[in-house]
Structure 1
Amino acid sequence: MNIGMYLSQNARKVPNKLAIDCEGRQFNYDQFNKEVNKLAHGLLGLGVTKGDKVAFMMKNSDTFVFSYFAGAKIGAVIVPMNFRLTSSEIQYILEQSEAKVVICDEEFEGTIATAKASSTVEKVIVVGTPTMPENRSYAEVLSTNVEDPKVEVFETDDLEILYTSGTTGRPKGALFDHRRIFNVGLSMMISMGINQQERFLHIAPLFHSAQLNLFLVSGTVLGATHFIHRDFHPVHTLQAIQEHKITHFFGVPAMFNFLLQVPNANSYDLSSIKRCGYGAAPMAPELVKKSMNLFKNDQFFNLCGLTEAGPNGILLDPIGHKKHLGKNGKPSFLTEARVVDETGRDIEVGAVGEFILKGESIMKEYYKKPEETKAALKDGWLYTGDLATVDEEGNITLVDRKKDMIISGGENVYSIEVEEVLYEHPQVLEAAIIGLPDEVWGEAVCAVVVPHKDQVVNEEELKQFCRQKLAGYKVPRRIFLEETLPRNASGKILKYQLRQQLNQVNA
């Protein structure tokens, strides 16, 4: 079993079924498979062999999908990279992963040229027209051979190195084989009821493990249909759902928020949607309720997974949303989850401990980082660094990253609890809670708030709003108003950047 094998099977089983629609370019499963095979043979012709690392710096596209499955079919190890990263950040990933080949969109050719200077990269393939003579165009690399490549790829062969989002520092590369990635998709099929009749809309970036492994890989294994958007645009997203009768929608919380800001959002026919998934960052209950109203659908899934788990972990299903909205839920299929104290014992109900995972999709290791691997993987459990609580029914709720927890006057303050209150305020569009140094309290609870367009937030009124719902020590002592919040590509707020920025302002 290997991931590329399932595409070949579907090319035989459902050759005429629409597989991909990318901004008007359509491919049935037979055509999809042939495009993949042409690139696979082209990569072999360039000297790419089993186990070589092939890095991507591409926006969502059909060529991204072809490149992924071509790499899988020849036993290459795919290294998807965030196209928003700087050349120095890309340089680190190329060096650390030992990438041999990079496939990039033409707009990123200059970034790759700077980044690959001291790396092991031998060839750069440009989707479009290369401006540098040493680079090859994607079209030029394609072979005329449309048959499956004769490379024996096993389920235990490595498939992906997924770099963590780096919200607390340098990213680490989580290594996965074909079996682990298949299990990620299998977990979603069972947990969410995904089947071969799905019509997926891919608006979240495919370099991110959630969109890639949870939905693109699982959907292709099943023989479903994929509609791919190069960039996220709220209006285009609503139009696509209406026009293409999308059945499955996944987005990060910020995307749902943007959809709600479309003036005539309620006029679109979104009735084809069978389920909505959200994840990659916390989503305030108030935002979930508004999104349910928009979609006129209560089949929502809170997907709380880690890159190191493929991503997999825990989820709150639609039944759980009726009773436990705001919680993260219970372990997904093939996964176990616990919350433990510093000695590794399960915590009591109401206490706070570290969230740990065990299952068939957990990474093999952090690539070339034995010490970090040893610290994260203990007795078969992945120690996530997330703090969480457990209720009487076994529902787990993440409350903070260990590094983001605030200790103010000796009291622990968990940012998500305060952020959820801020999101209830009608003038608040987005909010983040951070701790800043304070001579009296050690750390002061501070809120960074983005107001709704044309709204004015009164700081004292907002503090009073919080006092009605929170203990006094949790109420923000300072409120900073900003136009935007820094986020990574998966939608997580980069709180370390906010701390650095505001510490400089207050220095």
Structure 2
Amino acid sequence: MHIGEMLARNARKFPNDVALVERTPAEGKRTEVTWKQFDDMADQFSNVLAAKGVRKGDKVVHFMMNSIEWLVAYFGVVRTGAWVVPLNFRFTADDVKYCADVAEPTVIVYDEEFAPRIEAIRDKLPNVKTYICFGEKIPAYAESFTKLLEGAPATPLNIPITFDDPCGLYFTSGTTGQPKPILLTHKNMVCACITENAHHWQGKRDVFILIPPLYHTGAKMHWFGSFIVGGKAVILKGVSPEWTLEAVSEEGGTIVWLLVPWAQDILLKLDSGELKISDYKLDQWRLMHIGAQPVPPALIKHWKKYFPAMQYDTNFGLSESTGPGCVHLGIGNEHKIGAIGRPGFNWEARIVDENGNDVKRGDPGELIVRGDGVMREYYKNPEATAKALINGWLYTGDMARLDEDGFIWLVDRKKDVIITGGENVFPVEVEDFLHTNPNIKDAAAIGLSDERLGEIVAVIIDVAPGKSLSEEEVLKFCEALPKYKRPRKVFFGEVPRNPTGKIEKPKLRQKYSGMAEAFKL
């Protein structure tokens, strides 16, 4: 049963139960649809696409903000047998053009706010025959998503789809250059549903608060664990500590997946007294989990002070592994906070050296994983595919080590390792240490060129609101680190993160290497 069939099954079993809620706190809006309505709208959109000539194997670019319609469009595309191509809503017109050149879509579905970006490249997209726009102001060359749905039948297309058929073309978040196109199959999607449900014990009564962007595998694949059992999801449009707690309280939220900065913001407001737990109904909130980036242990220890009975899990995954779950900490393993965990349900993991041989337990090496969620390929990029997929194993590019209990600890990205005076420094270790300082909101460590040592460790510090910190104080604090890991230079400023929470190290290196040159470091 593929995900399009799962939706139909939910509609048959729970036709009048609420499937999706959309909350827009900034506008005071709330919308909900039942499983039957969700299923019907997906069928309507698949019929719209079929009428426009979309056939199995075609590609449909999907360029929308989180909404009920986002998911309607997604499942509508899937049911035609076409490949859905979800794009990062922060992509520029040039980014969209690059992705379209690779995917060669025949249809683009997009929100009205992205119309200027589409208009800027429309004459350079020869394969696109149909533009479908969601919103009130529809360009003359496009058709209205809403009006097309109103006139379409809600009858299933019943396109034969196998697990081996391609389902989606996902582009990486692009923190290290142009995003790579990842081809995922229907089998990959089903793997995500099963793995996530096995990890977090989602049941029909669970309510999943969905905040991260849907175009990314992380948010959607976590929700898949609730989707497979017909649990309600709440799409929260906009991020703030108040809106998150209101959604949990008013919708009966039981599961929330957060990014590190969002969890930090909640804690900062609880610490300051701007938010009070007693003002919200939170007793039913059973699980908070985090992924997509290294998680500072100090953050979770801080969180557990406010929510001591709440379950916690760390999730590790990549778009290439169909999102989260190939490795996870596991509920009940709070004593190992800081580790990313053990291989996920029906997954295998190894840590290897440059030759693909297992390293000695405790030594750092590259993490590789194998399971049903591993992508088919980097689309149209056989060289990159050959480097990433070897004998069925996905080489993640992440450096890790295995402890005595079989838990995997993420050391850092292979390309981010700082080599100073012949010693390897893993930035995440420095960052985790800095996060134990209550005056620091966020921190990043990078390597800067040095004539004598090759590289030195530099840190960028985002000071917590209402706090102060000097370079001398940071350097003094870091004296607890081994000498070769201590930063030689401290910069103060914002730590840029992409929409999935990962630190954008190339931006930092570009910005601060120039400043270092000016200071003659």
- TM-score normalised to structure 2 length: 0.94
Q: CA deviation at 1:131?
A: 4.5
- Summarize the alignment of residues 111-260 of structure 1 with structure 2, pairs less than 5 Å apart: 111-119=117-125, 120-142=127-149, 143-215=151-223, 217-260=224-267
Tell me if the contact between 1:95 and 1:118 (Cα under 8 Å) persists in the aligned partners.
no
The secondary structure found in structure 1 opposite 2:289 is strand
Q: Choose from 82, 95, 105 the match for 2:88.
A: 82
Separation (CA, whole Å) in 1 of partners of 2:505 and 2:122: 29
1:315 partnered with 2:325: no
Report the AA paired with residue 177 of structure 2. Answer: G
Distance 1:265 1:206, change over 3 A: farther
Distance 1:355 1:472, change over 3 A: same
Q: CA deviation at 1:130?
A: 4.0
1:409 partnered with 2:421: yes
Distance 1:105 1:293, change over 3 A: farther
Report the AA paired with residue 167 of structure 2. Answer: L
Tell me if the contact between 2:88 and 2:173 (Cα under 8 Å) persists in the aligned partners.
no
The secondary structure found in structure 2 opposite 1:350 is coil
Tell me if the contact between 2:421 and 2:454 (Cα under 8 Å) persists in the aligned partners.
yes
Q: Choose from 486, 502, 514 the match for 1:475.
A: 486
1:505 partnered with 2:515: yes
Runs of 4+ in 1 over 6 A off after TM superposition: none
1:64 partnered with 2:33: no
Report the AA paired with residue 253 of structure 1. Answer: V
Separation (CA, whole Å) in 2 of partners of 1:265 and 1:392: 40
Match of 2:18 in 1: 18
> Please, what is the CA RMSD of the aligned residues?
1.4
Report the AA paired with residue 231 of structure 1. Answer: G
The secondary structure found in structure 1 opposite 2:107 is strand
The secondary structure found in structure 1 opposite 2:332 is helix
Separation (CA, whole Å) in 2 of partners of 1:399 and 1:115: 41
Separation (CA, whole Å) in 2 of partners of 1:70 and 1:355: 36
**1:455-475: CA deviation from partner (whole Å, max 9, x where unpaired):** 21111111111112x101101
Q: CA deviation at 1:159?
A: 0.8
**1:160-196: CA deviation from partner (whole Å, max 9, x where unpaired):** 1111122211111111111111011100111211122
**1:393-437: CA deviation from partner (whole Å, max 9, x where unpaired):** 111111111110000111100011110110111110000000011
Tell me if the contact between 2:195 and 2:225 (Cα under 8 Å) persists in the aligned partners.
no
Q: Which moved more, 1:26-35 or 1:405-414?
A: 26-35
Q: CA deviation at 1:369?
A: 0.7
Q: CA deviation at 1:319?
A: 2.5
Separation (CA, whole Å) in 2 of partners of 1:55 and 1:237: 30
Separation (CA, whole Å) in 2 of partners of 1:172 and 1:66: 25
**1:272-303: CA deviation from partner (whole Å, max 9, x where unpaired):** 11211100011101111122233343410100
Q: What is the total number of aligned residue pairs between the two structures?
A: 503
Match of 2:26 in 1: none
Separation (CA, whole Å) in 1 of partners of 2:129 and 2:303: 47
Tell me if the contact between 2:326 and 2:369 (Cα under 8 Å) persists in the aligned partners.
yes
Tell me if the contact between 2:196 and 2:221 (Cα under 8 Å) persists in the aligned partners.
no
Report the AA paired with residue 315 of structure 1. Answer: H
Distance 1:369 1:474, change over 3 A: same
Match of 1:6 in 2: 6
**1:295-332: CA deviation from partner (whole Å, max 9, x where unpaired):** 3434101001111000132110233222x111111000
- Summarize the alignment of residues 388-427 of structure 1 with structure 2, pairs less than 5 Å apart: 388-427=400-439
1:347 partnered with 2:355: no
Tell me if the contact between 2:21 and 2:32 (Cα under 8 Å) persists in the aligned partners.
yes
The secondary structure found in structure 1 opposite 2:106 is strand
**1:228-283: CA deviation from partner (whole Å, max 9, x where unpaired):** 11222221111110111101110111111122233214333321112111000111
Q: Which moved more, 1:427-436 or 1:287-296?
A: 287-296
Q: CA deviation at 1:201?
A: 0.7
Report the identity percentage: 35
Report the AA paired with residue 446 of structure 1. Answer: A
Separation (CA, whole Å) in 1 of partners of 2:356 and 2:155: 52
Match of 2:108 in 1: 102
Separation (CA, whole Å) in 1 of partners of 2:353 and 2:200: 31
Q: CA deviation at 1:116?
A: 4.2
Separation (CA, whole Å) in 2 of partners of 1:255 and 1:115: 34
The secondary structure found in structure 2 opposite 1:56 is strand
Tell me if the contact between 2:286 and 2:310 (Cα under 8 Å) persists in the aligned partners.
no
- Summarize the alignment of residues 31-42 of structure 1 with structure 2, pairs less than 5 Å apart: 31-42=37-48
Tell me if the contact between 1:101 and 1:121 (Cα under 8 Å) persists in the aligned partners.
yes
- TM-score normalised to structure 1 length: 0.96
Distance 1:76 1:293, change over 3 A: farther
Q: CA deviation at 1:121?
A: 2.4
- Summarize the alignment of residues 265-414 of structure 1 with structure 2, pairs less than 5 Å apart: 265-267=276-278, 268-311=280-323, 312-322=325-335, 324-414=336-426
Separation (CA, whole Å) in 2 of partners of 1:229 and 1:122: 33
Report the AA paired with residue 159 of structure 1. Answer: C
